[in-house]
Amino acid sequence: MRERLADGADLADAIRGMQRTYIDRQTGTLVDGTFADWIEP
């Protein structure tokens, strides 16, 4: 979210982007992955 804000997004857009990223990751790891798969290196 910090990166989005630093790039000029307003708070509402940054929050929506963060939520979208979370859902995309959850969808990809829900069945086959673990929580550790969600952490960015």
**Domain assignments of the chain as residue spans, ordered by start:** 2-38
**Span 2-39, pLDDT tens digits:** 888 999 999 999 999 999 988 887 776 666 667 777 67
Buried b (16+ CB within 10 A) or exposed e, 12-30: eebeebeeeeeeeeeeeee
Q: So what's the pLDDT on residue 28?
A: 66
C-alpha atoms less than 13 angstroms from C-alpha of 18 in its C-beta half-sphere: 12
pLDDT band at 41 (very low <50, low <70, confident <90, very high): low
